[in-house]
Chains A and B, each alone.
Chain A
């Protein structure tokens, strides 16, 4: 079922590439682009033609025979969905003959459809009901006594939606949505003629099929055979609120459909960018955490972390926190406190936390969770191109001829973009995947990577240098681009470096494990295959050479001229919803908004005048530095908004010891997370459904977050920061987040043109948005780089210190799974646990056999810093010598084993490479999934 406020134009829009086609429908003149269907043209002219198998998110199919029309001068009754407009056409959508034909079709449908509209959850928002009324069916001549499907059992296996085959008219919209929109091909029509039924997989239940629960089929279904269980339970929504998803960095636009102050369902916004009506299982269905009983709704304080929590008023909690911070600063110095902003909170909330640290704490000890994910992106892309962001919009991938995915798993971690990318791949784009693990993209329905460069963890830079070697030694450099767009001296140095024999695919094969011939072929394809684009993730950044690798990819893109137009570029896929935004608005300790260094005196003056304070010109502590400073006694207090560092940061022992050493830890969050175990003040935060603000996604798109329900604990997160600032003696006078964005725009050239008024008008906008680009900038570095000329950098491969050896012979790398999100705080509190209720260790059959490990057996994973236990998943997805796991469950405590190694430039932890040993252990008692477990406790105990 479409969103309650959606209008369906029947078939997709066509781009106007020439003169519009003029025609007449029921006497109404209309001009539309060539290729537009008559059905759509009629809808645009305000003429409603009955239809069931057509919807404007899918190409026309022409099966229901309801949208028939008459065209003057032509015989017959063509389907308007599959008939395109022609100049001068005169079309009639109503006639006695058409009415008769449509009524007959509807009578057939109705004869095999349950007539229980009054008790149907879709009553009042049902396409088959509407069409029956439109066509004027009062009864069916065929009766109900014949053979029918009315007794077929419902499939209730999926936790979020039900499939009732008795309501199905086999229009194939769900099958086409699964194929064309999502690209999973999980559904088919089984049988022929009357025996035709929608079949997930091999005629089994949805949960046993390949279905990824994206919801595209549910949205496409015109009869509510596929219906959200929340809709069945709560009834029809009354209104909707357009907002932005709070999960990954794709930043999908949604309509929160509401009944009073209760969310009935989340429906992807078909007019919203970048998803255009598509969604994934997390955004569409996994919002139940917002009202989970584990939510903490009262502020709490305690003098020591050994004491139980005590519920107090907001005033008492805020005053307690403020007094603690002030006492620490008086006792230990101004630099003894700091803050961590959240990539899950809005731009405005993040901005206020960094403002509080800089203007109220009077230091720059502010950092953000991007430290542990994409900080190398910030360093690398700023150095090479001049700004810390991806070069393209998501839609650009439709113009790509060669797609290189490095260290990212879009179909799991960025599923909606994964679907957009798969659509392009099915249309013929070539694919290179560089990943130690065989991700789904390597081979999935109708997609097969041309090259899977299955490199050893920790060898990215050697691989990218080998590709560069091929480009420079085989004459594949785009000389004109380099000459016109890049620094000549830096390029010359880089060219010499890349050409050195030690960087050749043959020389690096022993390092990367990738056959030289494959590397050569992939490099040739990237350099000569047309528009080549790079998408990358944390498999690039979370290494000791994370920044070097980002620079290496930028080198390759510039050398081949693949920057500065549609279809090319270097694009980070950001992990969380607002990683890009939190970095944009000044969360890093060395940068103010817009990535400008704090040491710039002119810049500081502009902020000092706006904020009325003197700013410290020195960079502050980064998160890992804060931990070290806490352990040496010079850092004693921290304000953490929406970040669970005890679970998500590496070497949990170290993190927990640092937190324990502090005297005032203030956690502002939805749940009592692992970090809260070390907190003295807990301030209950608000979900994305409970606040106003903006998120900025991976393509620099700023989208509105709109309050759908009042904050359950009484305050939106930005209001809590304001209360804390006030208690610390610095009033922040904002009555709405729009005023905070206005301040950001005043202070930040790349945001100068951003305002809530513009966001309302345009829907969303991609920065830079200013006088030069008032409607924003989908593709960056067109004509010239932000820094002027592009900068090549020498990217020497330096092996990580984390080496395998006799004691730790395997390399552990970590990642995410589709149904869970980061440390699982949200998704573990939803029905998504049915897909993934524990972290598993993927191990190659060879390594498993050597150790006597069976599939499902408990194993102990030991590194130089700690050990964890979890169950094994024996699979050849990973290469021999490599093991892989996720970090969604605190019971697993995955980061107990990851080390303190970090990126040389940014301190981003090296999560992706840990030398481990894996040995079988006897089964232990497992805690219930979703339980707030023992990972951090284990760490603390050790």
Chain B
């Protein structure tokens, strides 16, 4: 997947939920959005990006949300 596109999309999602005062909840909302609407290969790619680079192009909130998704293997590409 196109990493640049995914980073931009993830930051857009973060910007929406980031408007809420409770930042912990905002992190959860971003993570939920990614789980609910992103196909697994998209999630794998953004997780890999954070794992490999630390995710410098992501906002703090989004980076935290992506890391929260990274507590187990994402569903693998179906065979």
Contact B19 A794 (CB under 8 A): yes
Q: What's the Cα separation between A634 and B21 when bound, in Å?
A: 39
Given contacts A904-B13, A905-B33, contact A628 B39 (CB under 8 A): no
Which of A618, A631, A632, A906 is within 8 Å of B39, CB to CB? Answer: A618
Does the CB pair B2–A904 fall under 8 Å?
no
Name which residue of chain A comes closest to B20, CB basis.
A794
Q: State which of A363, A544, A619, A622 has its C-beta within 8 Å of the C-beta of B36.
A: A619
Q: Could you tell me the distance between the alpha carbons of A796 and B15 in the complex, rounded to whole angstroms?
A: 9
Could you say which residues of chain B place their CB within 8 Å of the CB of A364? 39
Interface: A239 (CB within 8 A):
no
Any chain B CB within 8 A of the CB of A365? yes
Known: A634-B77, A796-B19. A590 touches B36 (CB 8 A): yes
Nearest B residue to A620 by beta-carbon distance?
Answer: B39
Number of A-B contacts (CB under 8 A): 79
Q: Which residues of A contact B12 (CB under 8 A)?
A: 544, 798, 904
Counting CB contacts under 8 A, is B75 at the interface? yes
Contact A333 B79 (CB under 8 A): yes
CA distance A590 to B19 in the complex (A): 25
Quick one: closest A residue to B78, CB to CB?
A334
Per the 8 Å Cβ criterion, residues 42-59 of B in contact with A are 42
Question: Which residues from B are CB-within-8-Å of A365?
Answer: 39
Chain B, interface residues (CB within 8 Å), range? 20 to 34
CB neighbours (8 Å) of B9 from chain A are 902, 904, 907
The answer to the question of A362 belonging to the interface, with a C-beta cut-off of 8 Å to chain B, is yes
Do A632 and B20 touch across chains, with their CB atoms under 8 A apart? no
Closest B residue, CB atoms, query A363: B78
- A548-B1 in contact given A493-B21, A590-B37 (Cβ < 8 Å): no
Chain B residue nearest to A545 in the complex (CB): B16
Q: Would B13 and A905 count as touching, CB distance under 8 A?
A: yes
List CB contacts (< 8 Å) of A614-648 with chain B.
Answer: 616, 618-622, 624-625, 628-629, 631-632, 634
Cβ of B5 under 8 Å from chain A: yes
Within the assembled complex, what's the spacing in Å between the Cα atoms of A900 and B4? 12
| Known interface pairs A634-B41, A904-B12, A904-B13; A616-B5 also in contact (CB < 8 Å) | no
B39 touches A589 (CB 8 A): yes
Q: Say whether A816 faces chain B, with CB atoms less than 8 Å apart.
A: no
A631 and B13 form a contact (CB under 8 A): no
Query: In the docked arrangement, what's the CA distance between A906 and B1, Å?
Result: 17
Proximity bits, A798-833, B CB within 8 Å = 1, else 0: 100100000000000000000000000000000000
Residues of B within 8 A of A618 (CB): 39-40, 75
The residue of chain A having its C-beta at the shortest distance from the C-beta of B33 within the complex is A905
Using A363-B78, A794-B19, A905-B13 as known contacts, say yes or no to A629 and B36 having CB atoms under 8 A apart: no
Q: How far is the CA of A764 from the CA of B19 in the complex (A)?
A: 43
With the chains together, A283 CA to B18 CA distance in Å? 46
Contact of B1 among A493, A589, A629, A801 (CB under 8 A): A629
User: Are A621 and B15 in contact (CB-based, < 8 A)?
Assistant: no
Bound-state CA distance A406–B41 (Å) is: 37
| Contact assessment for B78 and A335 in the assembled complex, using a CB-CB cutoff below 8 Å | yes
- B41: nearest chain-A partner, CB-CB: A634
Q: Is A597 in the interface zone, CB < 8 Å from B?
A: yes
Task: Enumerate B1-34 residues with CB–CB distance to A below 8 Å.
Answer: 1-2, 5, 8-9, 12-13, 15-16, 18-21, 33
Known: A597-B36, A629-B41, A796-B15. A493 touches B20 (CB 8 A): yes
Q: Separation in Å of the A380 CB from the closest CB of chain B?
A: 11
Which residues of B are interface residues toward A (Cβ below 8 A)? 1-2, 5, 8-9, 12-13, 15-16, 18-21, 33, 35-42, 75, 77-79
Instruction: Offer 5 A-B interface pairs, CB within 8 angstroms, sorted by A.
Output: A334-B78, A334-B79, A497-B19, A622-B37, A632-B2
List 6 extra interface pairs beyond A333-B79, A794-B20, CB under 8 A.
A589-B39, A616-B78, A621-B42, A631-B2, A794-B19, A796-B19
